[in-house]
Structure 1
């Protein structure tokens, strides 16, 4: 998977590294802002029975 992404990024090694870091940051923020809040609404945190 990572090799596939690395081969398809344009430019020399330094540009590829910068683009890979930017891609990782974008995925991180997408997860934090969209995916995790949506999943947290589905989790039964308040349904505690002891």
Structure 2
């Protein structure tokens, strides 16, 4: 999969490297600001009961 992405990025090695870093940053931002906040209320880690 990473090879497929690398082959389809335009430009030379330097621009591909910069574009791949931008893609990684975009995926991390999407996870941090959209996916994780959506999933967090659905996780059972805060449901602690002591009898």
- Same fold by TM (over 0.5)? yes
Structure 2 unaligned residues grouped into runs of 5+: none
Once the two structures are TM-superposed, the CA of residue 29 in structure 1 deviates from its matched residue by 0.3
RMSD: 0.9
- Match in the other structure for 1:24: 24
| TM-score, with length taken from structure 2 | 0.89
Once the two structures are TM-superposed, the CA of residue 44 in structure 1 deviates from its matched residue by 1.9
4+ long deviations beyond 3 Å = none
- Match in the other structure for 2:10: 10
